[in-house]
Structure 1
């Protein structure tokens, strides 16, 4: 089967890379620049820092930083209309995945008339005519290198993704220096989110030798840098390592896709506003305990990437090693390991399973056919912390 492999038009990586922004902007000859970000990044001083750098260009700037928490489709529509009113013809997104998803989607929709049709998923967004530059301030979502964007659907009470090549930016500037101010909790959840992208795309039914190269490298780097990046955020070496993890995993995700972990995380975000990275991190061991039986060979390789041991002679033990690594990771990074800890009502699990079972695009990418009942069992295990014969 033929497959495409897509990346942004250009990726500029390195400490201090964001300082080259003025010369990059000259290539697009904009008349008005939009900066899209969130309150946290603005409060950290990064938006002001970006504005100061852009003042060198002499181009007028419009700044939108009203993104709080997980963005909704309604917010995307609001931002798109606002940028249109301001006559912005170049969009720069700076922040975590939420800000970048809003920025690149708004840029893609600026020239489109029927915004609602694209946001509903009825139509794929066509070619983007407004230039877009993305600068991540976290290492996790990989939004700066993907053609995916995730938003809350308030009507359906879940998160839903839209996918289009138009969501790939013209330029991704990945500067580890911009992630130093990222809080420990966000560094942990976004970092494990990146690992989720790597491992899920590695076992994806759409995976190819090319996507696996990116996913493998991300998984090899991850254990080397994640703990240092979370517990010693000013360590630029670990921040650089995690920036590579995020970018590499993001490229693999963009082309091979993710699966059941993300499918089960969406309703948690939509109904209970659990952060996307936290939901993925928590669900990962419980999902893999269920689906791992169908990707034993890949998990033998994953165990090797993570330096958990050589299970080539005992492949069935690789799943156990990977699942327990993922559980220990939650403890090491001070992330919750049960839905009960998050205050999710036990009686909501059947409704969560029903919602997750409808995320067909991602479930179809998983090498295990998950029924609604099987999904409910995963949620129950995640609620009580049950893994195999162990109860946490």
Structure 2
């Protein structure tokens, strides 16, 4: 068996209403000053209210940073870290989507270490200490609450990652009640994002391993069997719970068997056109799957039994077709836009997208099939027109 390593948070709490117990977790660190990292939408929706009340009632001095925005720019992260240092914070907590959680990871690190953000982009460059860190997701999508990764938008609109085990939080707290009010279009996009994490972890070229495989398969089963259901009825707490669990398992899978070309092609769409990350993934997903089929067909055939359990394929190719068709249909049935045109991208934008995608070497090295600039441009072209790779 090929040697591998596997890393995950040391503590996970999964429970409806778990966010109300946040003060109990913070108290474990004998802390006094706490920073809550979130965004105005999440706080305005009341999703942090119970946690804030519990922390205040327990006697903690609370500083709230609510200026997180989607695809967090480096200057926002640096401002939050500066505030954290200024307030002499003991513990960093985040309640929100992937952007808030990614911001909080770096705030906890930058406030404690002497590193500059610009110096730690890449894999394994953040080697210092960080403050205690507790993450509470409000979407079933990014899995950021269990990963060692933070994604940052640089001043040149390029998305870069900071990847280091030191960013894995001390606690991941999963409260499905926080996802109840999520709009259907956000539910769909974040759910597809989580599915991509599972798919790309299962087909990752370099670090795929037995543990990540099992997590990816279980995640994909939970996500694919509940996404239509939760988009149709957002108050279904059981479906919400299974989506949140699936998202976390997918996060643990791709944290150890990294994502690849779907994310590499999605990043420029989000960075340049400010398209939400999950939607960016969904727009290129069927076309990257079709491109990768040549190298990943047996693996796609494996996954067909999970996402399309009723398929009757009599060959590996037919099973892979069934897999791609079902993933494409899932995106369509949940109301996800199917063309780049639908998000304001024109043919003249594609060369820039392809150029920026090719810079994502950290991700592309994991893809089961090597990509050239010309092939990347062709994939964007297929996504622009929304040409379906297989009948869905």
Interval containing the TM-score (normalised by the shorter chain)? over 0.9
Name the residue aligned to 1:178. Answer: 178
**Alpha-carbon distance in structure 1 between the residues aligned to 2:124 and 2:314:** 48
1:164 correspondence with 2:191: no
**CA shift for structure 1 position 183:** 1.6
Task: State the number of aligned residues.
Answer: 390
Name the residue aligned to 2:24. Answer: 23
**Alpha-carbon distance in structure 1 between the residues aligned to 2:225 and 2:242:** 8
Calculate the aligned-residue CA RMSD, in Å.
Answer: 1.7
Note the 1:111-122 alignment, pairs <5 A.
Answer: 111-121=112-122
- Can you list the C-alpha shifts for 1:216-241, whole angstroms capped at 9, x where unaligned? 00111122211121221111000001
- Can you list the C-alpha shifts for 1:255-313, whole angstroms capped at 9, x where unaligned? 00100000000111111111100000111101000111111111111000113445674
**Alpha-carbon distance in structure 1 between the residues aligned to 2:276 and 2:70:** 8
C-alpha distance 52-389 of structure 1, shift in aligned 2 (>3 A): closer
Name the residue aligned to 1:216. Answer: 217
Secondary structure of 1:328's aligned partner: helix
Name the residue aligned to 2:94. Answer: 93
Contact 1:291-1:368 within 8 A present in 2 as well: yes
**Alpha-carbon distance in structure 1 between the residues aligned to 2:251 and 2:117:** 27
**Alpha-carbon distance in structure 1 between the residues aligned to 2:362 and 2:217:** 23
C-alpha distance 161-14 of structure 1, shift in aligned 2 (>3 A): same
**Alpha-carbon distance in structure 1 between the residues aligned to 2:179 and 2:36:** 18
Contact 1:135-1:144 within 8 A present in 2 as well: yes
TM-score by length of 2: 0.96
**Alpha-carbon distance in structure 2 between the residues aligned to 1:108 and 1:67:** 17
Note the 1:239-388 alignment, pairs <5 A.
Answer: 239-309=240-310, 313-388=314-389
Name the stretch that deviates more: 222-231 or 24-33.
222-231
**Alpha-carbon distance in structure 1 between the residues aligned to 2:362 and 2:344:** 28
**Alpha-carbon distance in structure 1 between the residues aligned to 2:81 and 2:202:** 34
**Alpha-carbon distance in structure 1 between the residues aligned to 2:331 and 2:308:** 18
Note the 1:22-171 alignment, pairs <5 A.
Answer: 22-121=23-122, 124-155=125-156, 157-171=157-171
TM-score by length of 1: 0.96
**Alpha-carbon distance in structure 2 between the residues aligned to 1:210 and 1:64:** 36
Name the residue aligned to 1:202. Answer: 202
**CA shift for structure 1 position 132:** 0.3
5+ residue gaps, structure 2: none
**Alpha-carbon distance in structure 2 between the residues aligned to 1:261 and 1:9:** 29
**Alpha-carbon distance in structure 2 between the residues aligned to 1:148 and 1:182:** 24
**CA shift for structure 1 position 2:** 3.1
**Alpha-carbon distance in structure 2 between the residues aligned to 1:129 and 1:253:** 23
**CA shift for structure 1 position 102:** 0.3
**Alpha-carbon distance in structure 2 between the residues aligned to 1:121 and 1:248:** 24
C-alpha distance 44-375 of structure 1, shift in aligned 2 (>3 A): same
- Can you list the C-alpha shifts for 1:331-385, whole angstroms capped at 9, x where unaligned? 2111110101111021111111111112111111011011111000000000011
5+ residue gaps, structure 1: none
C-alpha distance 209-312 of structure 1, shift in aligned 2 (>3 A): farther
Contact 1:308-1:321 within 8 A present in 2 as well: no
**Alpha-carbon distance in structure 2 between the residues aligned to 1:250 and 1:104:** 15
Contact 1:263-1:359 within 8 A present in 2 as well: yes
**Alpha-carbon distance in structure 2 between the residues aligned to 1:352 and 1:225:** 32
- Can you list the C-alpha shifts for 1:87-145, whole angstroms capped at 9, x where unaligned? 11100000000001001111011112231343444971124331000000110100000
